[in-house]
Structure 1
Amino acid sequence: MTDPAAGGPAPVRILVCDDHVVVRAGLLALLDSAPGIEVVGEAGTGEEALALAARLAPDVVLMDLQLGAGIDGVETTRRLTAGTPAPGAGRAPYVLVLTTYDTDADITRAIEAGATGYLLKAERPEELFAAIHAAAQGRTALSGPVAGRVMAGLRRPRPALTDRERDILAQLATGLGNREIARALFISEATVKTHLRRIYGKLGVETRAGAVAVAKEQRLLP
């Protein structure tokens, strides 16, 4: 990116999306002092971020994960990265997640949705600025703790599920109950319950929601 008028690199155009007004104001003040960064808009909801991105064509969207009512940061990220670029933009914006949440499930969901980077709000300003510039070039930017979790997840052996257990887990992820799963797979409800107990044991969870979360985290679902 170059600035034709100045003959140097153009500033990275940023759209900030965070539902907390005070946090958003702090980010705007911080980014205003950053070299080579220009904030072109701010949004408090995912829907607002989508509308502004379509109109303003930012290079990078700084995205919180939890956005209150409406679609969350993960779904907003998915729509931003998969959508049609704004008029005049050569591509869809890159998304850099900035959040307080660092669970394996949150990290996995954000990256699978298309996020270029994942930072924690505890990062130093210099780290944030560097990550924004990296994201604007399409390079991955991860906080140290996040990178550690990603590497640990890659090294962790996946549970050895049978084909039938994977079928049931996939049905479980769609929100079906035991009876509906039994009908879909042409097995008895008792068989479904038996398989679920085995799945819970292999994944180290005790609930349906826990099983789905771990399955997504470890990419066990199709």
Structure 2
Amino acid sequence: MNPETRHDTGRPPHRMISPMLPSRGIPFSVAIVDDHMLLRVGVAAAFHRTTSMNLTATGASVSEALGHGQHIDVLLLDLRLADGSRPRENIAHLQEKSIDVVCYTSGESPPLIREAARAGAMGMLRKTEPMHVLLAATLAACHGEVAASIDWAAALDSDPTLLDARLSPRERDVLERYASGEGASDVAKALFISRETVLEHVQRIRRKYADVGRPARTKIHLYQRAIEDGVLSVD
């Protein structure tokens, strides 16, 4: 499912879901793109032990993985590939096919992490993370939820190209609660304002981000902007 077509669900975008507890009748389909065969084999073995996700394709490049012709919900993408492709190009190509992307990396290149985040990656993980963390992050992305990390937050925080949206204190309060997964009614109760006022604030927040070239059309995008601007932190 493409982030542009998702609807706000009120669920916390960063909530991790057990990889052994599928929440729908059929498993999600996932794929891996990494130019190190041994790593692909190891990750594939972990996916084969889950009941909520099926590994349907692997490859050393995006084109190789897509060449299998299988349906894919989420693709695990290495940021550095031997074919010289850029994260921005790969993510855009996958999003055109309604495939969401979780990136994983050794973490040595903040510019690549920022590039992937701006391109719309659903998450960012280190290759050294325990396998259960990788599985949970992938499943979270399958459910349309962001799987953030300390590396992602640090890379975005150091991005010199991000323009300030100049949110008011009240708008930051609304963004903090709304982007973390609270529904408009819950935000209204917490801040002692009406639901309509919350939605007006959200519209203004989106407009301000759009005005500085940082569109936030979905709740997932708002979550990413909140991380970028320090409104939310990654625990």
Q: Normalised by the shorter chain, which TM-score bucket?
A: 0.5 to 0.7
1:58 pairs, out of 47, 67, 72, with 72
Q: Which runs of 5+ in 2 are unaligned?
A: 2-22, 165-227, 229-235
Task: Please say if 1:11 is aligned against 2:27.
Answer: yes
Name the counterpart of 1:47.
63
- Closer/same/farther in 2, CA of residues 73 and 104 from structure 1, 3 Å limit: closer
- Closer/same/farther in 2, CA of residues 44 and 121 from structure 1, 3 Å limit: same
TM-score for the superposition, normalised by structure 1: 0.57
Q: Tell me the CA shift for residue 30 of structure 1.
A: 1.6
Larger radius of gyration: 1
Distance across 2 between alignment mates of 1:50 and 1:23: 19
1:108 pairs, out of 100, 114, 126, with 114
Distance across 2 between alignment mates of 1:30 and 1:148: 28
2:144 pairs, out of 135, 138, 144, with 138
Q: Which runs of 5+ in 1 are unaligned?
A: 2-6, 86-91, 160-217
2:42 pairs, out of 21, 26, 33, with 26
Describe the SS at the equivalent of 1:105: helix
User: How many residues are matched?
Assistant: 145
Answer whether contact 1:46 1:71 (CA < 8 A) is retained: no
Percent pairwise identity? 28
TM-score for the superposition, normalised by structure 2: 0.54
Deviation per residue, 1:123-173 (Å, 9 max, x gap): 1122111111111122111223323443x33799879xxxxxxxxxxxxxx
Q: Give the alignment's Cα RMSD to 1 decimal.
A: 3.1
- Closer/same/farther in 2, CA of residues 135 and 69 from structure 1, 3 Å limit: same
Q: Which residue type is aligned with residue 68 of structure 1?
A: A
- Would you tell me which structure has more helix in proportion to its own residues? 1
Distance across 1 between alignment mates of 2:109 and 2:40: 23
